[in-house]
Structure 1
Amino acid sequence: MRVRIEWTYKKPKGPTTFFKSEEMKAAEAALIAEDLTQTGRVKELQFLDTNDQSWSMKELNKFLRGIQTEPHDAIVYFDGGFDLEEKVSGLGCVVYYAQNHKNYRLRTNAKVEGLKSNNEAEYAALHLALQELDLLGIRHQEVTFAGDSQVVINQLLDEWPVMEEELSKWADRIENKMDESGIRPSYSVLSRKKNKEADRLATQALQGVEVRSTIELEN
């Protein structure tokens, strides 16, 4: 979960003013807020999540303690490739997440038939990522999805219309899956270079190389 801090600062026998921070991870916000309160000059402090729901310090710390044993703070990279001659698609996804104060990376791919375009493959790759999140038990959380498909991301943001029937079905399938899982998505469009992990997985899938691995990352 990402939050911003809002607080009122009061100088002893002086003026009072109001501050608010940029969005940051909830754990980082809790540390900063604790440091702020130690100044003795914070009169009121609250956290606001991306839905503008207000959290007290006590509520946020309770939430953070509760999620430590579960996968959280997930960032998903996805990519799809389409072989026009063979009429097959390669899907790739990478999931970075935290659990028990450790960081992990999951990489997986899949080779599928029956899709008709690269845009469909991109949607299918995102759907594959959602299935992986479900297997990890990541539910009722904010998740960042990053990919190099402007079509998919802008359509899911309702910034671009969905004209093709196949893509409309994929968009509905993905939104329904997110609703079922309680996932609150944020999206980021990347250059292909910055999405190279997921791109490589999609390419390997097209080449018939199956990948599935989870590793712990060094902090």
Structure 2
Amino acid sequence: MIVGDLEKTGRTKEIFLLDEQQQKWTVKEAKKLLQEVQTEPHDIVAYFDGGYEHDTLLAGLGVVIYFKQNNNSYRIRRNSRLQEIESNNEAEYAAFYYLIQVLEELGVHHIPVTFRGDSQVVLNQLAGEWPCFEEEFNRYLDRIEDKMQELGIRPVYEPISRKENEEADQLATQALQGIPIASRKQV
């Protein structure tokens, strides 16, 4: 830490650090926090996609989570299949909510998470950029926002192209085909 070098000069009386939420930390507290963070999932980038079959009202949900923990990088891949889904957009919302549930299982809390997906509707409505007039989608928005607030997740939304979302899309397709996937791998 640069702070350590400043302390060694003897020219400082006290040094405090501010985090992104403007919380004040002593150097000792900041060092302890950094050590604790290493043992918890952090630097999280999470992808989601929902696939939909109009004829069967089935949805396939695919999520991929990249993160660091204990100085290692990991990838989680999961999918799920839901019945009685009304539209492709509902499948996308269901996939995002499923992603939040997987993050909760992973123990993610009180950190920023980058969310990436090819659903402009879901990401822009969650970011507050686009209005949501559909009651069903508003219920999803409320559940998602409540869960993220409960977990202390600070979301960063990044819309991406379908090509960049291939991994989550493949998982959603496999879910529709009845192929369950649940893996955790060091990458």
Q: Same fold (TM over 0.5)?
A: yes
Select the structure of larger CA radius of gyration.
Answer: 1
User: How far has the Cα of 1:179 moved from its partner?
Assistant: 1.4
Map of 1:74 onto structure 2: 44
Out of 127, 138, 141, the residue aligned to residue 171 of structure 1 is: 141
User: How far has the Cα of 1:211 moved from its partner?
Assistant: 0.6
- Between Structure 1 and Structure 2, the one with more strand by share is 1
Partner Cα separation in structure 2 for residue 139 and residue 181 of structure 1: 5
Please state if 1:60 is matched with 2:30: yes
Partner Cα separation in structure 2 for residue 181 and residue 45 of structure 1: 30
Partner Cα separation in structure 2 for residue 194 and residue 46 of structure 1: 40
Higher relative contact order (CA 8 A, sep 6+): 2
**Equivalent position amino acid for 2:147 in 1:** K
- TM-score, length of structure 2 as denominator length: 0.89
**Equivalent position amino acid for 1:211 in 2:** I
Moved over 3 A (4+): 33-38, 42-50, 52-59
Please give the root-mean-square deviation of Cα atoms over the aligned residues, in Å. 2.2
Change in 2 beyond 3 A, CA 1:64/1:123: same
Map of 1:138 onto structure 2: 108
Out of 184, 187, 193, the residue aligned to residue 157 of structure 2 is: 187
- Between Structure 1 and Structure 2, the one with more helix by share is 2
Residue deviations 1:106-155, cap 9 Å, x none?
00001101211111111111111111111111112211111111111110
- The percent identity for this pair of structures is 49
Out of 76, 95, 107, the residue aligned to residue 106 of structure 1 is: 76
**For structure 1, which runs of at least 5 residues remain unmatched after alignment?**
1-29
Map of 1:199 onto structure 2: 169
How many residues align? The count is 185
**For structure 2, which runs of at least 5 residues remain unmatched after alignment?**
none
